[in-house]
């Protein structure tokens, strides 16, 4: 009888040792705090340098001045967005808890995806922040470089950014080298919502100082390439747009704030 009890006790201990730990119920201990980079004021050529031989495109080159501002060093993460949902009762992102998209608390330091423009704006406002304008985003993405296609120069490879078909999924924020301003993932990982409405000809009529997009429109601008974007879509001047209520597994965001915050 004693031998049977010993065997049963051993089996129970073995079973307990082999059990997988439960999933975390809270991300609070793993949240990356917002770290901001001060972007200096300045002028730059926004868009793509065109010539008389190149037909007009929506990223027509023009000079823009932007005031100094702060921009998130990293894209907003799953853990950060989870905290927002818990505090406000807002619904979780569209692909939450889907391992194929690295979404959910199992991936706290990965960029959040599956959020609408309104979701991104609401999160920023909850933190006392805002979405960057399109001009601010491109100016910051260039990292102080002049006339270059990527945040690192005129060339980019799989050691510099997460774009299609390198990884096949998102990566933790900050996994690749920063640009000249110390910002991470300004190319690759996820495409990012910005503040502006989209217009195909806005660059022909926008103000030269601190442009913030058309007054109205049906779509919002998204900037920067993501893990599902080809190399050509990762240039600092490439423009895209989505309906503001649309969600995508390739789209996230980062926040900005003014100097007086």
128-167: per-residue pLDDT in tens?
Answer: 999 999 999 999 999 999 999 999 999 999 999 999 999 9
From residue 65, give the alpha-carbon distance in Å to each of 43, 117, 136.
Answer: 4, 25, 9
Kindly state the average pLDDT of the residues 215-244: 97
Domain harbouring 252, CATH code: 3.90.1580.10
Q: Is 61 within the bounds of a domain?
A: yes
Q: SS3 of 241, please?
A: strand
Kindly state the average pLDDT of the residues 51-66: 83
- DSSP secondary structure letters along 25-77: S--GGGPPPP-EEEEPPEEEEESB---TTS---TTB-EEEEE--EEEESSPPB
Confidence at 5, pLDDT banded by 50, 70, 90 = very low
State how many domains the chain has.
1
What pLDDT sits at residue 2?
41
What pLDDT sits at residue 119?
98
pLDDT tens profile 248-257 = 999 999 999 9
Q: Is 199 within the bounds of a domain?
A: yes
Confidence at 56, pLDDT banded by 50, 70, 90 = confident
Kindly state the average pLDDT of the residues 209-238: 97
pLDDT tens profile 67-114 = 999 999 999 999 999 999 999 999 999 999 999 999 999 999 999 999
Residue entry with tokens 């985003």: 137
Task: Give the contacts of 198 (CB within 8 A, at least 6 positions apart).
Answer: 213, 214, 217, 219, 220, 221, 239, 241
Lowest-pLDDT choice from 5-14, 116-125, 177-186: 5-14
pLDDT tens profile 104-134 = 999 999 999 999 999 999 999 999 999 999 9
Contact 88, 82 (CB under 8 A): no
Q: Distance between CA 137 and CA 126 in Å, rounded?
A: 21
Kindly state the average pLDDT of the residues 4-23: 37
What pLDDT sits at residue 72?
98
Residue entry with tokens 């692909």: 95
Q: Distance between CA 132 and CA 59 in Å, rounded?
A: 18
What pLDDT sits at residue 25?
38
What pLDDT sits at residue 68?
98
Closest C-alpha to 222, from 85, 117, 84, 122: 117
Q: Is 98 within the bounds of a domain?
A: yes
Confidence at 52, pLDDT banded by 50, 70, 90 = low
From residue 100, give the alpha-carbon distance in Å to each of 171, 204, 231.
Answer: 12, 41, 22
Per the prediction, the chain carries an average pLDDT of: 89
Kindly state the average pLDDT of the residues 10-33: 43
Q: Is 13 within the bounds of a domain?
A: no
Residue entry with tokens 């997460």: 162
Kindly state the average pLDDT of the residues 191-196: 98
Residue 107 gets which letter from DSSP? Answer: S
pLDDT at 3 > cutoff 80: no
Q: Is 19 within the bounds of a domain?
A: no
Q: Is 4 within the bounds of a domain?
A: no
Specify the pTM: 0.88
With a pLDDT cut of 70, the percent of the chain lying above it is 85
C-alpha 35 chain-centroid distance: 14
Evaluated on CA atoms 87, 89, 92, 97, the torsion sign reads positive
State which residues form the domain around 161: 24-257
Two tokens at 54? 């190149």
Q: Is 144 within the bounds of a domain?
A: yes
> Residue 220 belongs to what H/E stretch?
strand 220-223
Q: Is 10 within the bounds of a domain?
A: no
What pLDDT sits at residue 30?
52
Taking phi over 0 as left and psi of -120 to 50 as alpha, with beta for the rest, 210 belongs to left
pLDDT at 20 > cutoff 60: no
């Amino acid at each position: 009888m004693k031998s049977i009890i010993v065997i049963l006790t051993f089996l129970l201990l073995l079973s307990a040792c082999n059990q997988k730990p439960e999933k975390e119920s809270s991300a609070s201990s793993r949240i990356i705090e917002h770290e901001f980079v001060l972007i200096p004021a300045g002028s730059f050529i926004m868009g793509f340098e065109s010539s008389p031989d190149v037909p007009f495109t929506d990223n027509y080159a023009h000079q823009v001045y932007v005031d100094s501002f702060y921009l998130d060093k990293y894209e907003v993460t799953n853990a950060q967005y989870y905290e927002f949902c818990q505090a406000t009762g807002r619904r979780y992102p569209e692909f939450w808890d889907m391992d194929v998209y690295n979404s959910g608390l199992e991936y706290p330091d990965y960029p959040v995806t599956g959020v609408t423009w309104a979701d991104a704006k609401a999160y920023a406002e909850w933190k006392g922040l805002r979405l960057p304008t399109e001009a601010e985003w491109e100016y910051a993405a260039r990292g102080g470089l002049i006339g270059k296609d990527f945040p690192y120069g005129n060339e980019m490879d799989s050691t510099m950014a997460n774009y299609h078909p390198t990884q096949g999924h998102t990566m933790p924020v900050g996994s690749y080298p920063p640009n000249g301003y110390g910002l991470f993932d300004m190319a690759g990982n996820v495409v990012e919502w910005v503040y502006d409405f989209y217009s195909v000809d806005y660059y022909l009529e926008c103000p030269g100082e601190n442009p913030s997009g058309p007054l109205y429109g049906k779509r919002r601008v998204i900037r920067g390439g993501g893990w599902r974007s080809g190399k050509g879509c990762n240039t600092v001047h490439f423009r895209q747009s989505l309906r503001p209520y649309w969600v995508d597994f390739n789209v996230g965001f980062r926040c900005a704030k003014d100097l007086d915050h």
